[in-house]
Structure 1
């Protein structure tokens, strides 16, 4: 299958000694990859490098075969992302926020804006301003922004953050539907083990800035009672010093 993401020897160490070290990953088309680790493990650092927000100390990231540093526009041309917090115009309506973003994508029209509002569950709130939204509602708007242009790759940092149970189920189903019906590839970070288990087809465990293991979810669950058992086993065997 087509290789969508290729990460080689990626390293970024901050002045406090935290960061990521020698991260290597390959993600293929249609994968729903779960980047699983506790808060502070290095997930967001890796994803910021992947999307060109910060530069690595060493190593490389290629998206669709293009180096994120050397060919940023080509690498990001078919990528949607949601990193850390949802950035929006607080005094514009949800609809108008998406309308502003649509200016960058000639193929996105009014019909597509209304479609993403519907599938993320915020159509009835389209005329409300994000400054009044709950964390979960802001997260839904961020996801609507991320999928607006029909990206082939979605890089999502804790996409279930702030959602209630119904919202988590909705977004899990959305992710699975896009992967199955449109061939969308996902790179999803999370510390929510249960939701990663229910959503992702492949899982990489990161702990203290290092990748401990990568495996198919199906294979993991053949050998462990749950993803939680697998995670604890990997950390106990390889992560703690």
Structure 2
């Protein structure tokens, strides 16, 4: 009972963080919808309105006010963010797997990889000069190589959910150029996820063993599902 109470509400929290997390999501949806109604006649897609809503509610604007910050940013709300982000990311990746056209990706893997790699290199070249500023801001004194690599990965990430939604809302997903942009962003993001996962796996021996185990289980599940699908089709 005491552990549950500590998880649900820390002594430094003004309100239950679960309630404030739900309220934050509601506010983001309402404000993003308002921005979408205003910006839609100007030809702006939905993800741009959602980004603006996050900027307005985040530390850049409204959360700079002390009372708003105390209400919206609770001390223990990060646990709920991690849980919700994990569930949403899992569902999103599952939906991407269902809609992925593997034969198209095989036919155009060379062009798609060149576009994804070229975009990543350009992003790193433009963002590289800001490394010294990031080191000063975050006061990085140890493991600078890992910090450089992680920052490059963040800069190179194409944010495929935003790319997919923007192309879908502009009705550009049926054209060859739109499909190439979607699959280039997917290849780019999967490469970035692989790099970050590798960094985490090599950070300690326990994580390395867990990564190997998860990889083996994933490969085994893929092969089992493949043969099960053949069996059920027959």
Bigger CA radius of gyration: 2
Superposed pair shares fold, TM > 0.5: no
Q: Specify the TM-score bucket, using the shorter chain as the normaliser.
A: under 0.3
The structure that is helix-richer by fraction is 2
